[in-house]
Structures are given as structure tokens and as C-alpha cells.
Structure 1
Amino acid sequence: MSAVVALVGNPREGSRTRTAAVAAAEALGRRIGHDEPPEIVDLAALGPHLLTSRPSSSVEVALELVAGASVLVVASPTYKATYTGLLKAFLDRLPGGALAGTVALPLLVMGDPRHALAVEIHLRPVLVELGALVPTPGLALLEAEIADLDPPLARWAGKVAPQVVAALRQGART
């Protein structure tokens, strides 16, 4: 079981979404007393294996890592006012209840602040449906903020860390 995992739903390798997800997972990890680097599941590398009917060991390992997380930062760029189809294809492979006991934190990277509600309207419900505890509002990051992530992530981590710790104490994985 991993304590903190960043799940990156961007189809491009080396994306800004990955940068934001890893930085968010690290910032939160430090605030909740988990100093180890987060595990990273980057779906860009798994994309070709997600849509085949044949089992893929790399996808199975990723699914187990995500399902075993104590804290899961789920990040995607905003496409058509929601998260990516790649992230949806991955999450659809998790059985119902697979995230029970996991504290999940949705994060969307967007070019326009008008898409900020997408994190709550689209990404939060799928995580709850999979059984995750989502104790805080999701994080909507503007692409312009990625150049200097420290200020927005410090504010975010400071605000959500108490709720994450409380959720972990109330039944999430530790």
C-alpha cells in the first residue's frame, strides 16, 4: 500500500498536468507528515494498453497502485470542460468500491477559469462513485499558475491538509 499517489490523466508525456500533480502530491505529503516522494501513475505511458481487450501487466500494476493508495491526487487537463477520456478509460477499469478507504483529491489544469466548476461537477462524482472519500473541494489550476506552483499549492495544501488528516483518521487507509 502506498501512502500518496499522483494519478496523471494527460495523454502527453512530460505534461504540465504531470508537473502540477506531482507538485501537489509532494506539497500535500509534506503537510500531512509523509516525506517520501509520491508514487506516480502517468497514463500517457499506458494509453495504448487501456483500450485493448488483452490484459496488460503495466495497467494491472497501475490499477493496484491506485487502489492501494491512502491519498490519491487525481489530475487531468480540462478537455471539453471535463477530464480526459484517457483518465475515464483507466478509472472504468477499477471495480466499484475500489477506492474505498482512499482519500482522493481531484485536480484539473485549465486554460480558462470558466472551467473551474468542472473539477466538482465531473471529476469528484466519479471518485465518489468508486468509493473514495473526497473531503475537500477539488483544485482548479490555471495553466498560467504552473510557471510558479509554490504559492497556489502552498495555499491549497495548507487549506486541505487538516481535512485529509481527519479523513485518514476516520477510516481511510493509513
Structure 2
Amino acid sequence: MSTALVISGSPSSTSKTERFADHVTRRLVADGTAAEHLRLRGLPAEPLLTADTSHPDIAAAVKAVIDADGIVLATPTYKAAYSGLLKVFLDLLPQFGFAGKAVLPLATGGTVAHVLALDYGLRPVVQSLGPRHVVQSLFLLSKHLLVSGDDFGVHPDSAGPLDDVLAQFRKALDGVPHDTVLGRSA
């Protein structure tokens, strides 16, 4: 069975992006992928900011990345860029921390003016980590993330594109040679 780690990079405790990452995690699990959600805002600030990979919480987060077959990155867009919290975390990963993995970049934001933050900002950083495959990214407008109390949904205008990128991600996961991914023994 393929494994996926969904990483949300929002610093906000009321984040729609984090709720969206929960939604994506549930969708992956429902489709037969063993998926977990790593909320970066829950990591201790000082060890994260100083890249102290010996700290148990940071070491566990890095190990979760290394152990996963696929990575989903969910970030809010701030000032035309992905979150600084996500950048800090990506910076502490080993140089080829995504080697052999499929990666799906997702972003949320208030206006389509920020849609290029994925391809011009996040994608080059993801590529530098050496993934096997980066799935087509998806930008969702915040107004398409429907929150009402504990209920969460995706507006129909974004539901189809989300279905498409999740299907692409699952196909990319199926191509991961589980026993031969770098960092694992056969």
C-alpha cells in the first residue's frame, strides 16, 4: 500500500488551508492510501527555526517525509508566495529529501492573482529536493473552501479540478517502487 504525507503550512489555528489538508487526507485514505496529516504549526518554533533536526518532534517530522511514498504540500498564499512556515520546514530537509517520491503542490488564496505562486515559487523548491514526479499543482480560491462549523466542503467549481489532481497523484504513487526508493532497504 502506498503512503502519503499531507503537509499543511499555515500558521493559523483557524486555517481553511489546514481544513482543506484534512479533507485531502481523508480522500486519500478513502481511496486506499495510508495517509497522515502533518501540521507544521504544531512543531516547536525554536527547533524548527534553527533547523534542529536532533529535536524529537523535528526528527519525527523529517522521518515522516522520508518514509512516505508521496507528499502533498498544502499552503496558503501570503503576499504572492507560499507560507514562510512551509519554507522553513522544506529548508531543513536533506538535499534530496523528496527523492523517489510523488509530490502534489496545493495552494489556497483570496484571488487568482496569486495562482503563479505555485509554479514560480514553490515548484522550484520542490524540484530542488529531487522528487521522482511532481503532479500538476492546483490553486483553490478561499471562497471555494466551504466551512460551516465542523463541516467542510469544496465548491463545485474546484471539486472537479481537485478530483483530477488527486487521481494524478494516486497514479504517480502507484509508480513508486516501494522497496527501491532512496533511503530504504530492499
Query: Taking structure 1 as the reference length, what is the TM-score of the superposition?
Result: 0.84
Aligned partners of 1:173 and 1:16: how far apart in 2? 32
1:40 maps onto 2:45 in alignment: no
Q: Which amino acid in structure 2 is aligned with residue 101 of structure 1?
A: G
Q: Give ranges in structure 2 of 5+ residues lacking alignment.
A: 147-152, 180-186
Task: Tell me which structure has the larger Cα radius of gyration.
Answer: 2
| Percentage of pairs with the same residue | 34
Q: Which has the higher contact order (CA 8 A, sep 6+)?
A: 1
Q: Give ranges in structure 1 of 5+ residues lacking alignment.
A: none
| Superposition map of 1:67-82 within 5 A | 67-82=66-81
- CA deviation vs aligned residue, 1:80-112 (integer Å, no higher than 9, x gap): 111111111110111111111111111111011
Q: How many residues in Structure 1 have an aligned counterpart in Structure 2?
A: 171
Query: Taking structure 2 as the reference length, what is the TM-score of the superposition?
Result: 0.79
The answer to whether the Cα contact below 8 Å between 1:11 and 1:43 also exists between their aligned partners in 2 is: yes
The structure with the greater share of residues assigned to strand is 2
Q: Which moved more, 1:98-107 or 1:66-75?
A: 66-75
The answer to whether the Cα contact below 8 Å between 2:102 and 2:135 also exists between their aligned partners in 1 is: no
Q: Which amino acid in structure 1 is aligned with residue 108 of structure 2?
A: V
Aligned partners of 1:89 and 1:70: how far apart in 2? 22
Moved over 2 A (4+): 24-30, 52-55, 133-136, 150-154, 160-174
- CA deviation vs aligned residue, 1:124-164 (integer Å, no higher than 9, x gap): 11111101234432110111011131635641343234533
Superposition RMSD in Å? 2.5
Aligned partners of 1:119 and 1:53: how far apart in 2? 24
